[in-house]
Every structure is written in C-alpha cells, then in structure tokens.
Amino acid sequence: MDSNSVSCVVEARGLVREFATRGGPLVILRDLDLCVRQGESVCIMGPSGVGKSTLLHILGTLDEPTRGEVSILGRNPFEMTDGDLADFRNTDLGFVFQSHHLLPQCSALENVLVPTLVAPGTGQEKAERARRLLSEVGLSDRADYLPADLSGGERQRVAIARSLVNRPRILLCDEPTGNLDEKTASDVADCFVALQKREQVSLILVTHAPWFARRFDRVLHLKGGTLIPDGKSSAGLFPPGQTP
Ligand SMILES: Nc1ncnc2c1ncn2[C@@H]1O[C@H](COP(=O)(O)OP(=O)(O)OP(=O)(O)O)[C@@H](O)[C@H]1O
Ligand SMILES: [Mg+2]
C-alpha cells in the first residue's frame, strides 16, 4: 500500500466480499475503502443485512475478502500462518459482540483472564490488570460472580474488560449494546467511550443507535457495499489530513 498508509492502523482498499449462493454470487462489499488511525473511534451504521458484520469479520481477520487489500497494523493478516494469525488476533485485536460469549463455568475475573493465558507476563501482572479493568467497568465487587449471576449489562461490561486485557491496539465491536435496554446500553456505552480514550485503542464499532454513534470521532454508513461519510459531520471517509 502507498506511503499514506503508514498512519492507518486498519486499512482496506478495494475490498470486495461475495458469497456464493444458488442464484449466483451475492456481492455484499463492493470496492470498499477505509483507513482508521491509532486511537480513533469510528462508528459504522447501516440497515440490517447491508454487510456490517461481514466487514467487521474481515477487519478482525475472522473472514477473508474475495478481492482487495487489508492491512492491520501494517501487516497483511491473510498472508500469516495460522499460528501467527491466532497470536496476532489474541494480542493486537480485541472483540466485543452482541452476545457476550463468556464461559459459563468461569467467574467474571477468570473470563477477563482467558485471553492472557497465552500472552506474555506474570500471573500477578495479569490478575492486577484484570482486576483494574473490572473495577473500571464498575464491577470490582462482582469479580467472583459466575456469568449466570450477572445482569446483561454486567456481562457485557465483563466482555469489554476481557477485550482490553491484552492491551490490543484495535477493538472491534458488533452491536455491543444491541441486547440491552436503553439505560443499561447507555451505561455500557459510557464504559466504552471512557476506556477507549484512556487506552488509546482504535475502535471500530457497529451500532444501530444514533445516540451512541454521536460519541464517535467519525460515523460511516455502509450503503451499496461501500462506506459513506456521515452527512451530519465534517469528518470524511479518511481521517483529517489523510488523502485517499
Ligand atoms: N456465508 C454467507 N453466505 C451467503 N450469504 C451470506 C453469508 N454471510 C452473510 N451473508 C449475507 O450477507 C448479507 C450481509 O450480512 P451481515 O451479517 O454482514 O449484515 P449486517 O449488516 O451485519 O446485518 P445486521 O444489522 O442484521 O446484523 C446478508 O444478506 C446475509 O444473508
Ligand atoms: Mg450484523
């Protein structure tokens, strides 16, 4: 990719994703471009079925594009060996999904610690970081609770703490407040915004909620397979100062 690419921690150029269907290829992403800088928060919106999760899966290295280039932290994830890719995902990327995916038999603290099992560092350092993150999401008194004994919002806050425990450079979130009532969703959104700024992680988040989207540096709409900058903000498809 060109020299402009250096400051993009996440970059997609000419991304295409087609699915083979009985009726022929179904094109979901069509010549899509994106650049996200370190520490930037970008919200992706769009109607159901437009391809938001498809895009997030590709940026999260969980799915490969049909065509086009993807660079994450300057590397092409799809040229890595399976082992390197698994390490890269665990260390540099954090994920939060609509459903929390916590391990039911593990406590909140143990769930936060799961990604650290194959990461460097001492057990004590990891436990201290996990406890601090739990405290920052307001759950210091719930560290020993099993997921079944936590509320939906509390479970999602555990998932946020877990996503950040390895200090990832990039956080990818697919409708993380989608299953929560308005007040709980708002509390979880507060958690995201505060932690994202403090950890200086680049955040790419999908939401249907306009009130949440307003809190991001940039809002992009997925339409016709490509991303379109939000008409209400001056921010474009690329960060300020970045020419495509
Ligand atoms: N493996 C697949 N094979 C065929 N079609 C697929 C496949 N995966 C996704 N699709 C289709 O691609 C389209 C986009 O799906 P995607 O899950 O990305 O939408 P979305 O924007 O995340 O929607 P929602 O807001 O409902 O979560 C859908 O029409 C879906 O049916
Ligand atoms: Mg989706």
Q: Is the CB of 64 inside a 6 Å radius of any atom of ligand 1?
A: no
Distance CA 200, CA 177 (A): 21
Per-residue confidence band for 5, with pLDDT thresholds at 50, 70 and 90: very low
By the CB criterion, residues less than 5 angstroms from ion ligand 2 are 53
Quick one: pLDDT at residue 119?
87
Nearest ligand to the C-alpha of residue 29? 1
CB count within 10 Å of CB 153 equals 21
CATH 3.40.50.300 fits 3-229, yes or no: yes
Report angle CA 111, 116, 117 to the nearest 5 degrees: 90
Q: Is the CB of 3 inside a 6 Å radius of any atom of ligand 1?
A: no
Question: Tens digits of per-residue pLDDT, 51-79?
Answer: 999 999 999 999 999 999 999 999 999 99
Q: 4 in the Ramachandran plot: left (φ > 0), alpha (ψ -120 to 50) or beta?
A: alpha
Per-residue confidence band for 42, with pLDDT thresholds at 50, 70 and 90: very high
Instruction: Give the helix/strand (H/E) hosting 123.
Output: helix 123-136
Distance CA 51, CA 46 (A): 8
Quick one: pLDDT at residue 61?
95
- Closest atom of ligand 1 to 47 CA is 25
pLDDT > 90: percent of the chain: 79
Distances (CA, A) of 202 to 11, 41, 167, 170: 12, 6, 11, 5
Q: Is the CB of 56 inside a 6 Å radius of any atom of ligand 1?
A: no
Nearest alpha carbon, ligand 1 atom 11:
49
- Closest atom of ligand 1 to 57 CA is 18
Per-residue confidence band for 100, with pLDDT thresholds at 50, 70 and 90: confident
Domain limits, the chain: 3-229
pTM exceeding 0.75: yes
CB 69 within 8 A of CB 13: yes
Nearest alpha carbon, ligand 1 atom 7:
19
CA 142 to chain CA centroid, nearest Å: 25
What SS3 string covers 40-100? Answer: CEEEEECCCCCCHHHHHHHHCCCCCCCEEEEEECCECHHHCCHHHHHHHHHHHEEEECCCC
CA of 47 to the centre of ligand 2 (A): 9
Q: Is the CB of 207 inside a 6 Å radius of any atom of ligand 1?
A: no
CB 109 within 8 A of CB 146: no
Q: Is the CB of 29 inside a 6 Å radius of any atom of ligand 1?
A: no
Nearest alpha carbon, ligand 1 atom 1:
19
Per-residue confidence band for 107, with pLDDT thresholds at 50, 70 and 90: very high
CA of 173 to the centre of ligand 2 (A): 10
Question: Tens digits of per-residue pLDDT, 196-224?
Answer: 998 899 999 999 999 999 999 999 999 99
Quick one: pLDDT at residue 1?
53
| Mean pLDDT of the chain, nearest integer | 91
CB count within 10 Å of CB 143 equals 18
pLDDT of 176 higher than 80: yes
Residue 43 token pair: 């919200």
Q: Is the CB of 115 inside a 6 Å radius of any atom of ligand 1?
A: no
